[in-house]
Amino acid sequence: MDLAIDKLALGGKALGRVGGCVVFVEHALPGQRLRVRITRKKANFAEAQVVQLLAQSPAYAPPFCRHFGVCGGCHWQDLAYGEQLHWKREQVQESLRHLGGLTPEQVLPTAASPHTRYYRNKMEFTFGPGPGGCSLGLHLQGSRDRIFDLQECFLQSPQTGAFVKKVRSLCRQSGLPAYNPKTRRGFWRFLVLRESKSTAQMLAHLITTDQGDPAAVAALAAALTSTFPAITTLVHSLSRTRAQVASGADSRTLLGPGYIEEELGGLRLRISAHSFLQTNTAAAAGLYDAVRRFGGFRGSETVWDLYCGAGSIALYLARQVRRVVGFELVPEAVNDAYSNSRLNGVDNCSFLAGDLKERLKEALGSGSLPRPEVVITDPPRSGMHHQVVHALKELAPGRIIYVSCNPATLARDLALLGDHYEIATVQPFDLFPHTAHIECVARLERKRI
C-alpha cells in the first residue's frame, strides 16, 4: 500500500495511518510518501517495510557514514539535525501524556548537543565468528547476535576505525576464536574504548572468556601500545556470564594506571574501566547545569544523589550545597567517586556502595544520615525500582531532580510520584545525535498535602 509518514514515535520508528489503523515503519521520515508492505498486523496497529520511496521528505539529510542502513546505530543520520531535536521534544511530551497521564507545566525545547560527530567518550565493540575466526565491530541493524566488521565510525574519534581494524587483525593472528553466544565457546568477547575529550587519554578494555591463554592478551596489548601511543592504559577482564554485556570480573591492568582523566564543567574526573560517565562529555556539562539550576540551591542543603556512578553530579553540586551523599551499586564506581573528591579538593561528599533499595531502607530505618532537602536521581533505562519510589515518598524531600535516559520509564515513575509531587519543568537534552535516544531532566516539587 502507499503510505504518508506523519511523525516519529518513541524509539525511532516512523508512523503513518491508513483509515483508523496506525502503521509503524522502520527507517522512514516524516513527510515521505512510501510504498510499503505489511509484515505484521494486530488489532489496532500494523508494521511494514519500505518497498519504494515515492516522495522524499523536506527534512531529509544525506547520510555521511558508509555503514548507514547496515549498522544498528545512528538510525536518524538521514534526518536534518533541527528536526531530530523537534521530534525528541514531541516524544517526551507524548510519553508524559499517554504513558503517565501527566500534563507537565513546561517541556522546554530540546537542548542541542554541542557536537553532532565525534561526540562520544565511550564505545563498545563486539567480537563474533567471522573470517579468520574473528570479526569485530557493531551489531547489524535489527540483530542482537550478528555483527559486521567496522571500517569507520563518526561517533568517538577519527582514529577509532583504525584502532578497531588493528585489534581485529591482531586477534585473528592470535589463532584464538571469537566468542560465539550460540555455542558459548570462544575467547574474545568485547572491546571497550574510553577516550577523554579534554586530555586525549585513551583506555582500552579487553573482555574475554577464560577459554584461552591470557598471554595472548598481553601480546596484543604490547602490539597495540607500540602502534597507538594515545593508549595510556589497558585493562583485561574476564566474562563468564551468558549475557552479552560488555563488562567483566577479575580485572587486571596491563598498562598504565587503570584509569583516564576527563574534565567536565571545571571538574577533573578519574574514570576507570567499569565507571559510569555520561557518554557525551560536552553535552553532559549542559545537563549538569540544568540539574544545578533546577535544584535552586542556597548553600545550606543536604542532597542525596541516587545512582551516583563516579560522583560527577555530586561533585558538580558540592560547592553550592552543604553536603552530598551518593548511593551507587558498583563498588569500583564508588572508589572512583572518592578519588574524584580528593582530586578536586571536595570534602563535603560521601558515597555508599550497595543495592539502592537496601541502602535507602537502612538509611530511613536507622536515621544515620541527615534527611535531604533535595534528591537527585539518575536511574538506568529501566527507571527506579518501585521500592525506591516508595522510599522517596517516605523521605519526602522538598524537591526531586530526576535525570532520565528513557522517557517511557520517566513517565511511569513521575506518575507513581504524582500523589506527592507535581512536575514543574522538564528539559530534554540530546546527548546522542542521529539516534532516537533522549535524556531529560525533570524538576519535581512536593505538594502541600
Q: What's the CATH code of the domain at 362?
A: 3.40.50.150
pLDDT of 144 higher than 90: no
75 is a domain residue? no
Kindly state whether residues 439 and 294 are assigned to the same domain: yes
Instruction: For residue 402, tell me if it sits in a domain.
Output: yes
Of 202, 228, 263, the one marking the end of a domain is 263
49: domain CATH number is 2.40.50.140
Q: Residue 431: its pLDDT value, please?
A: 97
| Predicted local distance difference test score (pLDDT) of residue 363 | 86
pLDDT, tens only, 170-211: 999 999 999 999 999 999 999 999 999 999 899 999 999 999
Question: Percent of the chain having pLDDT more than 90?
Answer: 80
- How far apart are the C-alpha atoms of 204 and 256, rounded to whole Å? 11
Provide the pLDDT for residue 325: 96
As for how many domains the chain has, the answer is 3
Pairing between strand 188-195 and 122-128?
antiparallel
Same-domain status, 300 and 239: no
- The residues near 396 (Cβ < 8 Å, ≥ 6 apart) are 420, 446
Range 153-179 average pLDDT: 94
Q: In angstroms, rounded to a whole number, what is the distance separating the alpha carbons of residues 62 and 85?
A: 17
CB atoms within 10 A of CB 314: 29
SS3 state of residue 152: coil
Give the pLDDT mean for 380-395: 94
| 207 and 288 co-located in one domain | no
For helices 214-227 and 160-174, give the axis angle rounded to 10 degrees: 140
- Are residue 101 and residue 194 in the same domain, yes or no? no
- Judge if 53 and 160 occupy the same domain: no
Q: What is the pLDDT confidence band of residue 434, given thresholds at 50, 70 and 90?
A: very high
**Residue pLDDT, tens place only, 278-320:** 899 999 999 999 999 999 999 999 999 999 988 999 999 999 9
Q: Find, among 321, 268, 270, 262, the residue nearest to 292 by Cα.
A: 321
CATH for 250 = 2.40.50.1070
Residues 288 and 377 in one domain: yes
- Residue 350 domain-assigned? yes
Q: Are 441 and 399 in contact (CB under 8 A)?
A: no
Contact 347/322 with Cβ under 8 angstroms? no
Shared domain check, 426 and 294: yes
Residue 271 domain-assigned (yes or no): no
Q: Are residues 213 and 177 part of one domain?
A: yes
* Structural domain contains residue 268: no
Residue 372 counted as domain residue: yes
In a domain, 72, yes or no: no
- Indicate the helix (H) or strand (E) that contains 41: strand 33-41
Number of H helices, E strands in the chain: 9, 21
Q: Name the catalytic one among 71, 134, 171, 405.
A: 405
Chain mean pLDDT for the chain: 93
Question: Of 263, 298, 325, which residue is a domain's last?
Answer: 263
If asked whether residues 432 and 304 sit together in one domain, one would say yes
Claim to verify: residue 442 and residue 308 sit in the same structural domain: yes
Kindly give the interhelix angle for 386-395 and 356-366, rounded to the nearest 10 degrees: 30
Same domain, 111 and 127: no
Residues 141-157 have a mean pLDDT of 91
The three three-digit cell numbers of residue 50, written as one number = 519500505
DSSP structure string for 363-432: HHHH--SPPPSEEEE---TT---HHHHHHHHHH--SEEEEEES-HHHHHHHHHHTTTTEEEEEEEEE-SS
Query: Cα–Cα–Cα angle for 344, 346, 352, nearest 5°?
Result: 110
Query: Does position 449 have pLDDT exceeding 80, yes or no?
Result: no
323-328 vs 302-306, strand pairing mode: parallel
Q: Which of 60, 77, 97 is the last residue of a domain?
A: 60
- Which distant-in-sequence residues (6+ apart) come within 8 Å of 372 by Cβ? 301, 302, 303, 304, 325, 395, 397
The question of whether 134 is a catalytic residue gets the answer: no
**Domain range holding 40?**
2-60
Is there a single domain that holds both residue 94 and residue 165? no
User: Which is nearest to 95 in space by CA: 410, 436, 437, 435?
Assistant: 410
Residue-level pLDDT at 331:
87
Is residue 202 assigned to a domain? Answer: yes
Cβ contact 299:331 at 8 Å: no
